[in-house]
Amino acid sequence: MPRRNKIALIGAGNIGGELAALAARSELGDVVLFDIAEKEGVAKGKALDLEQNGAVLGYDAGITGSSSWAEVAGSDVVIITAGVPRKPGMSRDDLLSVNLKIIRNVAENLKKHAPDAFVIVVSNPLDVMVYELKRVTGFAGNKVVGMAGVLDSGRFQLFLAREAGVAVKDVRAMVLGGHGDTMVPVVSYCTINGIPVRQIVPADKLAAIVERTRNGGGEIVKLMGTSAFYAPASAAISMATSYLKDQKRLLPAAAHLQGEYGYNDLYLGVPVVIGAGGVERVVTIELSAEEKAMLDKSAAAVRELIEASKNL
Ligand SMILES: NC(=O)c1ccc[n+]([C@@H]2O[C@H](COP(=O)([O-])OP(=O)(O)OC[C@H]3O[C@@H](n4cnc5c(N)ncnc54)[C@H](O)[C@@H]3O)[C@@H](O)[C@H]2O)c1
């Protein structure tokens, strides 16, 4: 007997609310919007508002707000945005000590209540948070993934499309590496409907776009005093959808590496295939010497933060 998917959203803040709206609107499944006891009213209020939104728009999804982990039990997908976002002037790494405690608490509870879920981590600093979630839960690497690459690539694609004067959907690009200042927009594989981008966008403009992409999150934090949430939510939902519908999309995501690209026991943004088996495989691509050097630098920065987290 077919049943509806169950999607638990841990954190009912800005991204959590938008995740719930997107999941409900596309009838991806029933949604549990979870937050801490002090924010249970917010979680319940957003859930009720979104159910009523369905009555207006004509979608049907059960949406529940809760601060009880029992409600999360049996989830097919869990998306974690629990934690604090950046304020102007902060780097993602500045969030480490606060969000580490939160992710450890979430991990202990998921281990108990949702051991079979496909887990997508969004909280920052992303690569360390997803590493810690896997370490504490002991879940298999293919069932724990981090969202950053889809968002960073989206930003890269948008800036390129605007510069080239073409439709954004015709620009294909990938951003790999850690979700921080060292991220690697991979220019050598970037195309506009198959045409290498270097044939269309001049080198100096390309360099400026790479730089703007690296600072894409910070640009928004500076404008509105907190992190982006529409595009981050859409990015995580595209990953959840690929899992639930076995779409086998090839997307950049923070994946558990065990020797791929020369890195062992590390989470880093690489191309992966997401289907019913979770992260079904890491796709290894050839990189130019310059790009591999950038990826090495990014991996070293993530490793350093993971080491720092061990003392916290
Ligand atoms: N990976 C990415 O690309 C990306 C992009 C944007 C933002 N982020 C990160 O996502 C996170 C969430 O951002 P936001 O804008 O939604 O923040 P927000 O402050 O609006 O929401 C976070 C929510 O988490 C809740 N929370 C705190 N501790 C919790 C716990 N133990 N269990 C459950 N919930 C808990 C808070 O009460 C709050 O409602 C931040 O860390 C931000 O830096 C990541």
Would you write out the chain's pLDDT as a tens digit for each of its 312 residues?
A: 678 999 999 999 999 999 999 999 999 999 999 999 999 999 999 999 999 999 999 999 999 999 999 999 999 999 999 999 989 988 888 899 999 999 999 999 999 999 999 999 999 999 999 999 999 999 999 999 999 999 999 999 999 999 999 999 999 999 999 999 899 999 999 999 999 999 999 999 999 999 999 999 999 999 999 999 999 999 999 999 999 999 999 999 999 999 999 999 999 999 999 999 999 999 999 999 999 999 999 999 999 999 999 988
For the chain, strand residue ranges (E) read 6-10, 30-34, 63-66, 77-80, 118-121, 144-146, 171-172, 175-176, 184-185, 191-192, 195-196, 249-258, 264-275, 278-282
Give pLDDT, residue 222: 96
204 Cα: distance to centroid of ligand 1 (angstroms): 36
Tell me, yes or no, if 256 is annotated catalytic. no
Tokens read off for 253: 């995501």
> Looking at ligand 1, which atom is closest to the CA of residue 121?
1
| Tokens (6 digits) for 307 | 């080491």
Compute the chain's Rg from CA coordinates.
19
Ligand 1 centroid to residue 190 C-alpha, Å: 31
**What does pTM read for this prediction?**
0.98
* Rounded to 5°, angle at Cα 220 from 218 and 222: 70
Residue having the nearest C-alpha atom to atom 43 of ligand 1: 85
**CA-nearest residue, atom 5 of ligand 1:** 232
User: How close is the Cα of 52 to the center of ligand 1, in Å?
Assistant: 24
Choose the catalytic residue: 6, 179, 214, 303.
Answer: 179
Q: How far apart are the first and last CA of the chain?
A: 47
Distance (Å) from CA 97 to ligand 1 centroid = 14
Q: Do residues 238 and 251 touch, judged by C-beta distance below 8 A?
A: yes
**207 contact partners, CB below 8 Å, separation of at least 6:** none
Which amino acids bring their CB within 6 angstroms of ligand 1? 10-16, 34-36, 39, 81-86, 95, 99, 102, 105-106, 122-124, 126, 147-148, 151, 179, 226-229, 232
SS3 191: strand
Q: Measure 183 CA to ligand 1 centroid, in angstroms.
A: 21
Please give the Cα distance from 258 to 246 (Å, whole number): 24
For 113-139, b/e burial (b = at least 16 CB within 10 A) is: bbeebbbbbbbbbbbbbbbbbbbbbeb
In this prediction, residue 1 carries a pLDDT of 66
Q: How far apart are CA 76 and CA 257, in angstroms?
A: 23
User: Which residues, 6 or more positions from 221, have their beta carbon under 8 angstroms from its beta carbon?
Assistant: 85, 86, 87, 88, 90, 227, 228
**What atom of ligand 1 comes closest to residue 148's alpha carbon?**
3
Distances (CA, A) of 125 to 69, 86, 298: 24, 10, 13
Ligand 1: atom nearest CA of 122 is 1
